[in-house]
Chains A and B, each alone.
Chain A
């Protein structure tokens, strides 16, 4: 019924994230861009496991003959969300440290390392 629409939405999210990474200079916004890409990829994984009229894959609760959804993509997404939380937390922690030392979050103004 909805066809490929969810996949299109995922790609739009990933594209928005990439655009944020390329166009923004604020460290927090860069972290948001990474998170957007992550959301797109996670949604893509969940969409892959979607089955129309599918039910949760718990054998003891379902009637015979009902289509079940595949649990693997959901397990993958869960793992990916946990990893994403760790990376986002670490990036924001670094942003806090940078702000404490320099008093700014502008990536153009904090370039001590170059060349």
Chain B
């Protein structure tokens, strides 16, 4: 069997199989379970990377399920009835983000989770969430997208609330579940409306038919609402701080990657599905204003927090605002296509990778603090830098990168967003810079409060595995900060171009000709 052409489906099927086989192996022996998890994780990452290389070197990869040949997407008569997976530059880029976050989370989880506190359960749910995320990113079918969206919702909420011996996780999980399900149902209603009009679910086919009728606009509104709800943008951000604050550290960072998968869905809908019919920049302005609102509200809320987990959570929500701002500016400019539109898209999309790495690093460091002291209350913590030297260093690095201080990666992507949004309106840039400054103040205070000062209590340093996971993310952050040009040129630009001008290529790859 030629494994090369089956990469898209294997990247989803392997973690799915990994998830359901994991409890069986755990029954046999715990060592066997860990080896299985490591093998599945490594294999999934290898396939995602191989697929990304394939996409970046040869163009859009289409995989048809249930056809005689995986490349045969349309039946006779030019109508796609089968489910297809379509991987273009943007999907491949998102797959790499998920792979990076998943790998770091898995390495961290081995020594972070305790056997008597549902380690097998948490690892099973993690693989399920990972498979769902990769599915959302690779699918080329609207209903399939909804199914994977719900797979991630169920796995994510179970990960938030599986610690039933505490009361707070269940509360966070219920709230998150209600909002996720509502968002998912809005997406399903939109999919049903599109299906009712055009009789198809294939994104490429729908995109070639959508002309912007009244029903199309309703569907677009429902998709925007549902996906933004799941991405945690203001005003539907209430679940995010609870969920990130209460979920165990290794799960919280995957939840962040999951919000980015929802954002990816939003970009796909806006640029590919509605790309032909969406000439009015009004939707772009809506996304831009939601983005600036998100980053302002989240940063202001971060100032008030007394809990390290919730503080980082609001930091994570504010970064969603920057992504919406960057890509929104690109969407406003989509009709007239000036140069700064593509630059804004590059900034927004590069920021997704940066955010996944930096917020992930901060959350893992907070997990170490919680493990060492049993609390995340900022008023009770202090002086941990004496014992947790590496963790303190990683937190400091993450905080600087998140606030966008040069020469770290957050600065590289935010600069792209600033210089392009300035061309649209200087006010947007001013709000963005203000958000960054406030964020720096918030995280400087948090770092000073948690790690500096006199030693209040002895803290046990984390095991090597957890340091390796944080080191992996820190290395990625440093590499992206020192050589942003390399990453922008080889990863971000193909992804941005796939959305900006790749709609015709996407359609041609699926529908042929």
Cβ A90 vs Cβ B158 within 8 A: yes
Given A37-B182, A98-B170, CB of A113 within 8 Å of CB of B189: no
Cβ B181 vs Cβ A97 within 8 A: no
- Of the candidate stretches A52-60, A61-69, A72-80, the one touching chain B is A72-80
Cβ B157 vs Cβ A41 within 8 A: no
Cβ A44 vs Cβ B189 within 8 A: yes
Quick one: closest A residue to B158, CB to CB? A90
Chain B nearest CB from A8 CB (Å) reads: 15
- The A-contacting residues of B in range 186-211, CB under 8 angstroms, are 188-189, 192, 195-196, 199, 201
A83 CB–B CB distance under 8 Å: yes
- The A-contacting residues of B in range 252-307, CB under 8 angstroms, are 301, 304-305
Chain B nearest CB from A74 CB (Å) reads: 12
Quick one: closest B residue to A14, CB to CB? B189
CA distance A95 to B188 in the complex (A): 25
CA distance A112 to B168 in the complex (A): 7
Given A21-B182, A112-B168, CB of A87 within 8 Å of CB of B177: yes
B147 CB–A CB distance under 8 Å: yes
- The A-contacting residues of B in range 317-356, CB under 8 angstroms, are none
CA distance A90 to B164 in the complex (A): 12
Selected from B170, B175, B184, B196, the residue in CB contact (under 8 A) with A97 is B170
Quick one: closest A residue to B144, CB to CB? A79
CA distance A101 to B131 in the complex (A): 33
Residues from chain B with Cβ under 8 Å of A73 in the complex: 192, 195
Give 1 or 0 for each of A84-115: 1 = CB within 8 Å of chain B CB: 00110011001101100110000000111101
Selected from B158, B167, B195, the residue in CB contact (under 8 A) with A48 is B195
B416 CB–A CB distance under 8 Å: no
Cβ B195 vs Cβ A37 within 8 A: no
Residues from chain A with Cβ under 8 Å of B172 in the complex: 113
CA distance A44 to B196 in the complex (A): 10
Cβ B171 vs Cβ A83 within 8 A: no
Cβ B174 vs Cβ A98 within 8 A: yes
Cβ B174 vs Cβ A87 within 8 A: no
Given A34-B178, A41-B185, A87-B150, CB of A98 within 8 Å of CB of B195: no
B451 CB–A CB distance under 8 Å: no
Chain A nearest CB from B297 CB (Å) reads: 13
B41 CB–A CB distance under 8 Å: no
CA distance A68 to B382 in the complex (A): 71
Chain A nearest CB from B183 CB (Å) reads: 11
Residues from chain B with Cβ under 8 Å of A94 in the complex: 157, 161, 170, 173-174, 177
B143 CB–A CB distance under 8 Å: yes
Chain B nearest CB from A62 CB (Å) reads: 20
Residues from chain A with Cβ under 8 Å of B161 in the complex: 94, 97
B88 CB–A CB distance under 8 Å: no
CA distance A45 to B201 in the complex (A): 13
Size of the A side of the interface (Cβ < 8 Å), in residues, is 34
Cβ B195 vs Cβ A27 within 8 A: no
Cβ B301 vs Cβ A115 within 8 A: yes
CA distance A14 to B189 in the complex (A): 10
Chain A nearest CB from B34 CB (Å) reads: 27
Residues from chain A with Cβ under 8 Å of B310 in the complex: 115
Cβ A90 vs Cβ B185 within 8 A: no
Residues from chain A with Cβ under 8 Å of B184 in the complex: 83, 87
B18 CB–A CB distance under 8 Å: no
Chain B nearest CB from A26 CB (Å) reads: 12
Residues from chain A with Cβ under 8 Å of B178 in the complex: 21, 30-31, 34, 91
Which of A41, A79, A113 counts the most B-chain CB atoms under 10 A from its CB? A113
Given A113-B245, A115-B301, CB of A90 within 8 Å of CB of B177: yes
Chain A nearest CB from B162 CB (Å) reads: 10
CA distance A110 to B172 in the complex (A): 11
CA distance A21 to B185 in the complex (A): 14
CA distance A86 to B157 in the complex (A): 12
Chain A nearest CB from B199 CB (Å) reads: 8
Residues from chain A with Cβ under 8 Å of B173 in the complex: 94
Q: With A73-B192, A80-B188, A113-B241 given, can you name 18 additional A-B contacts, CB distance below 8 Å?
A: A37-B182, A37-B185, A38-B181, A70-B199, A73-B195, A83-B184, A86-B154, A87-B150, A87-B154, A87-B184, A90-B158, A91-B177, A91-B178, A98-B171, A111-B171, A112-B168, A115-B301, A115-B305
Q: Taking beta carbons and an 8 Å cutoff, which residues of B are in contact with A?
A: 143, 147, 150, 153-154, 157-158, 161, 164, 166-168, 170-175, 177-178, 181-182, 184-185, 188-189, 192, 195-196, 199, 201, 241-242, 245-246, 301, 304-305, 310
What are 30 of the A-B contact pairs (CB < 8 Å)?
Answer: A14-B189, A21-B178, A27-B174, A31-B178, A37-B182, A41-B185, A41-B192, A44-B192, A48-B192, A48-B196, A70-B199, A76-B143, A76-B195, A79-B147, A80-B188, A83-B154, A86-B154, A94-B161, A94-B174, A95-B174, A97-B167, A101-B170, A110-B171, A112-B171, A113-B171, A113-B172, A113-B241, A113-B242, A113-B245, A115-B304
Q: Taking beta carbons and an 8 Å cutoff, which residues of A are in contact with B?
A: 14, 21, 27, 30-31, 34, 37-38, 41, 44-45, 48, 70, 72-73, 76, 79-80, 83, 86-87, 90-91, 94-95, 97-98, 101-102, 110-113, 115
Query: Which 5 A/B pairs are nearest by Cβ-Cβ distance?
Result: A101-B167, A97-B170, A94-B174, A48-B196, A113-B242
